[in-house]
Structure 1
Amino acid sequence: MSDSVARPSSASEARESKGFFGRIVQFLREVLLELKKVTYPTGPELLRFTIVVMVFVAFMMLLVTGLDFVFGKGAMWLFGGSPGK
């Protein structure tokens, strides 16, 4: 039978052999490599995304305001009284 002892991979061995600051430097290198893979939106895409977000936020504000008004009126009708007392 073959010996099936689990051996740590070379990446984990390299991670363990580096010191504290070596691991920080390695992390920063990996962050920079990942940032190179990012695709940034073009100007027109950025404008379109911004408009979509602003319209959505305005819609949600109107929805929450409307629901607040309806539930406030319902609470006043149910429990009586007038607002401000």
Structure 2
Amino acid sequence: MHFFELRNIQHFVLYLLPALLGVLIFAIGLARTHFRHEDEDVHMQQVHTTYVGGIEERNAPFPLVLVLIIGGTVLWGVLYIIFYGVLGVKI
């Protein structure tokens, strides 16, 4: 039990705002998925493979924001293992 009711609201805001900011940054990152070049429209509309049922596959680039998120996760995991295992530092 908390002595002050405001403390519950502060914790709620401190949990909610980073989550909302993370979703907003991720959405902005997906809006600018890759670097643009001249023949991009033709490249994005060209059908690479057609499957049964009318499903078409295009050769689109992998989103840059996902590359950064995956790379950051792997880097954090490796550094966490090094700092926690070798140095004994608790993060």
Q: After TM superposition, is the score higher than 0.5?
A: no
Q: TM-score normalized by structure 1?
A: 0.37
Which structure shows the bigger proportion of residues in strand conformation?
A: 2
The structure with the larger Rg is 1
Q: TM-score normalized by structure 2?
A: 0.35
Query: Which structure exhibits the higher relative contact order, with contacts defined as CA atoms closer than 8 Å and separated by 6 or more residues?
Result: 2
